[in-house]
Amino acid sequence: MLPGVSLQSLRGQVSHFRHLKTADPGGLSMKYWNGRRPRYCPECLAERPKWRAEWDLTLMVACPTHRARLRDSCPSCNRPVSWKRHSISMCNCGRPLTDTASEIATNAEIAVSAYLSSALADEGGVNGADYRTDVGRLVLPDLLAVCTFLGGYACSNGAKPTKIANLDNVSVATAVANAAGQAFIDWPHGYHELLGIVCRNRGSEDSCARLTARFGYFYTALYKRFEAEQFEFLRREFDSFVSREWVGQLAERNRRLSPATRRRHAWISLTSAAKLLGIKRDTVSVLITQGTLEGQTHRTASGRTSGTVSRCSVEALRDEKAQWLTLTDVRKLLMISRKRAYALLRSSVLRPVGGPSVDGSPVWKFSTREVMALMSTLSDVASTAEHR
Q: What is the pLDDT of residues 68-79, one digit of tens each?
A: 999 999 999 999
Q: At what angle do helices 107-121 and 140-155 cross, to 10 degrees?
A: 160
The pLDDT of residue 59 = 96
- Mind listing the pLDDT tens digit for each residue in 112-163? 999 999 999 887 667 776 788 899 999 999 999 999 999 999 988 667 888 8
The pLDDT of residue 252 = 62
Confidence of residue 7 (pLDDT cuts 50, 70, 90): very low
Highest mean pLDDT among 12-26, 108-122, 300-314, 316-330: 108-122
The pLDDT of residue 105 = 97
The pLDDT of residue 238 = 94
The pLDDT of residue 348 = 86
Domains in the chain: boundaries = 42-262, 267-320, 325-386
The pLDDT of residue 5 = 39
* Average predicted confidence (pLDDT) for the chain: 84
The pLDDT of residue 6 = 42
The whole-angstrom separation of Cα 54 and Cα 113 is: 9
The pLDDT of residue 202 = 64
Better-predicted residue by pLDDT, 144 or 35:
144
Confidence of residue 3 (pLDDT cuts 50, 70, 90): very low
206 has a pLDDT exceeding 60: no
383 CA to centre of own chain = 62
Better-predicted residue by pLDDT, 270 or 114:
114
Q: Tell me if residue 33 falls in helix, strand or coil.
A: strand
Whether pTM exceeds 0.85: no
124 CA to centre of own chain = 28
| Burial class, 276, CB count within 10 angstroms (exposed 0-12 / middle 13-18 / buried 19+) | middle
Nearest to 371 by CA among 317, 318, 327, 315: 327
Better-predicted residue by pLDDT, 332 or 296:
332
The pLDDT of residue 61 = 97
Range 43-63 average pLDDT: 94
